[in-house]
């Protein structure tokens, strides 16, 4: 069990007054979305994208919604548009 104000597998995450549900919400595009698009882990309110088994495929984006193979549209632009 973590001390007050800390969460995480190793109590490494300071909540800064936010609940674990609020932190988890930061890892969703909207209320109907899967956490980190199902392609990452929500750690301290941020998505850590998984490593792909496919050579040359990189999963990235705020919600792990993009990858270098399937360039889906996000906010109307390919993976958020121009960098």
pTM of the model: 0.75
- The model's pLDDT over 23-80, given as tens digits with 9 standing for 90+, comes to 999 999 998 999 999 999 999 999 999 999 999 899 999 999 998 887 655 555 657 5
- Average pLDDT of the residues in 4-16: 88
> DSSP assignment, residue 37?
G
**Mind listing the domains of the chain with CATH numbers?**
6-77 (2.170.300.10)
């Amino acid at each position: 069990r973590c001390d007050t104000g800390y969460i995480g597998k190793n109590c490494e995450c300071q909540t800064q007054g936010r609940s674990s549900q609020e932190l988890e919400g930061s890892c969703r595009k909207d209320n109907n979305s899967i956490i980190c698009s199902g392609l990452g882990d929500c750690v301290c309110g941020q998505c850590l994208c998984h490593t792909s088994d496919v050579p040359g495929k990189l999963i990235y984006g705020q919600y792990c919604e993009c990858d270098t193979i399937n360039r889906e549209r996000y906010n109307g632009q390919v993976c958020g548009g121009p960098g």
